[in-house]
Structure 1
Amino acid sequence: MQQTDIEIYVLSCPTENIITWLENTFTLVTKSTPSTLCSKVTLAADDGNTIEVTILEQAAGKRFTSIWFDSNKTPWEDDIACARQVFEALHCEVRCNFQGWEEEGNQDPDQWWRINSHGEGPFIWD
């Protein structure tokens, strides 16, 4: 089942590198910079769907950048699948929610998934 959206956090990764990866993975339709820390892009996927993406620097501390795909039409089944592809492409640590987001559920909000050069697995991000 496809998630309603995908959100991951990358550690110490320049926004320019993220946008270059997005341009190499999708077709860039539009790009704007609403603020010094925020970039927004509209992407076209191979299947014709458009995906709105917000890139927000310093989203979790000063070193983490959020990449939020505001669409249920991404090519990934969940946050972890996206995080794996981003780590392979950008070679920087990637974190995401361990279980995906649910409005109501018994998930631990501090339980996350981390991928870095040492491997991947669950951890508590507090």
Structure 2
Amino acid sequence: MRDLEIYIRDLESSAVSDWLASHLDEIELADDSLGDRAVKGVARYRGNSVRVSLYPGAGGKRYTSVILEGEDLPWASDLDCARSAWRAMDTEIRCSPGDWKEGEPVEDERWWRLDQRGEQLAVWN
């Protein structure tokens, strides 16, 4: 199973639903209104199941973690996913610089930051 994770700053709940719906089939989120709690859902992509999880308040109160998990996903990497989200939502998007796994230190604590200034590797804070 593959997973992609990006962090979206100041996310509006309908924006992520619209963006995902343009890339995934049959997306169903338990509740697309983001509060302070996680929102989970499922979708399909090329006939395969995709788990969708949104975690508000990740990486600082202004970011929402968006995680997609499945055998087949619309993007090859976190950065490809972040680029797509940036084009759709025009708000700051962050993601890890490589094949990071839970529990491992982030390489030099640098993350991709995509915003109106372009794409840059930056320290999170």
> TM-score normalised to the size of structure 1?
0.84
Structure 1: which amino acid aligns with 2:121? P
Which residue number in structure 2 is paired with residue 60 of structure 1? 59
After TM superposition, give the deviation of residue 22 of structure 1 in Å. 1.2
Question: Unpaired segments of 5 or more residues in structure 1?
Answer: none
Question: Unpaired segments of 5 or more residues in structure 2?
Answer: none
RMSD: 2.3
Contact 1:10 1:95 (C-alpha < 8 Å) held by counterparts: yes
> The residue matched to 1:25 in structure 2 has which SS?
coil
Whole-Å separation in 2 of the counterparts to 1:60 and 1:105? 16
Question: Equivalent pairs: percent with the same residue?
Answer: 28
Equivalent residue runs for 1:15-54 within 5 Å: 15-33=13-31, 36=35, 37-45=37-45, 47-54=46-53
Per mean C-alpha deviation after superposition, the further-off stretch among 100-109 and 90-99 is 100-109
Whole-Å separation in 1 of the counterparts to 2:7 and 2:105? 22
Whole-Å separation in 2 of the counterparts to 1:94 and 1:103? 19
After TM superposition, give the deviation of residue 31 of structure 1 in Å. 2.1
> The residue matched to 1:5 in structure 2 has which SS?
strand
After TM superposition, give the deviation of residue 112 of structure 1 in Å. 0.6
Rate the CA distance shift 1:106–1:10 in 2: closer, same or farther, 3 A.
Answer: closer
After TM superposition, give the deviation of residue 107 of structure 1 in Å. 5.1
> The residue matched to 1:73 in structure 2 has which SS?
coil
Whole-Å separation in 2 of the counterparts to 1:73 and 1:116? 27
Whole-Å separation in 1 of the counterparts to 2:111 and 2:98? 8
Which residue number in structure 1 is paired with residue 95 of structure 2? 96
Contact 1:26 1:43 (C-alpha < 8 Å) held by counterparts: yes
Give CA-to-partner distance per residue, 1:44-70, whole Å, 9 cap, x none.
11x111110101111121110110012
